[in-house]
Amino acid sequence: MDGRNAAGDLTVVVIGLNAAATLEACLRSVHRAVERAGLPARVLYVDGGSRDASVAIARRESAEVIELRTDRPTAAKGRNAGWRAASTPLVQFVDSDTVLEPDWLERATRAIQADDRIACLFGQLREANPSGSLFNEVCGCDWYVPPGDWRMCGGNALFRLGALRDIGGSDEQLAAGEEADLCWRLRQRGWRIVCDAAVMGHHDLGMTGFRAYWRRAVRSGYAYAQIGLRFARTTDPMWLRELVRNLTFLPAALLLAVAVGLAFGATGLAVLAALAAARLAWKFGALRRRIPSARLRTLYLAHLSFLRLPLFVGAVQYLARRRAAG
């Protein structure tokens, strides 16, 4: 595999679209991390067609700018344009609403070079603005990923350029779920995807209200369905279990409640509710180490319970569009 034994220089690829509110802080954090790592590095900003001052900000912050010419900008197109412009052995992708930790690049480049089977290394994210909204605070709890080998990464991750070339990068037809697809193809070639225990950066979810929360969750359900069906018949199905759960949980729960109510009346429903409450109580305790605040744990469990609805809606939307497209 090309690039497995390479070490040294680094390219940081920041992608964004109408990112003026966050881009300056993002790029400054990148420069700090590059300086701390002590590696010769290029910093590229790939713009998806911004109508604000994003491009001007990027140039002011000493980033090379690539402007995409597309009527349908996606993260996959932005990242592909970035790594294809790179010639260094390592490429760090950064979303424009993310601020890197100062020591991340130093730690990550050392870790990825320690094992030439690692194609992708990523760390922990923290919510940058938990006080911005209740949705930011609660959904920020989703960021945690147990350290070790993983099936996929998120948008912020360090890659070997040779590994990206090996599989041709991201699928530009995917508007969501492109990271899962990319990592699936890497793993089929024998590469490792590794999560590090260190904090990689702080990401701003930017959810100011319920509408943004709902759209994000529906989009996730759509992506689960698209990727789940794409790899359903392979020896390594990706997100198929999640797709089945997203499609069946709500109907099954409703049918169970109706059946129990008809068979056992109010007593049966009370027992069913007690069992559901016991399950939530167990989860509440299991989350104590990761989420010390009892208030936040309660809200997070409410989020996980409600999430079943928009995930179901997103899955149904994808299936409907797939059927309509033949």
Domains and CATH numbers, the chain: 10-208 (3.90.550.10), 240-324 (no CATH)
Report how many helices (DSSP H) and strands (DSSP E) the chain contains, helices first: 11, 9
In this predicted structure, the answer to whether residue 75 has a pLDDT above a threshold of 90 is yes
* Predicted pLDDT at 4: 36
* Mean pLDDT across 92-101: 97
| Single pTM value for the model | 0.91
* Predicted pLDDT at 7: 37
Backbone angles phi, psi at 290, to 5 degrees: -80, -35
**With bands split at pLDDT 50, 70 and 90, how would you rate the model's confidence at 6?**
very low
**With bands split at pLDDT 50, 70 and 90, how would you rate the model's confidence at 162?**
very high
DSSP-based three-state secondary structure for 171: coil
| Beta pairing partners, 193 | 120
Q: What's the number of CA atoms in the CB half-sphere (13 Å) around residue 52?
A: 11
Distance, in Å, from the CA atom of 39 to the CA atom of 33, rounded to the nearest integer, reads 10
Q: Cβ distance 69 to 48 under 8 Å?
A: no
Lowest mean pLDDT: which of 35-49, 68-82, 134-148, 267-281? 267-281
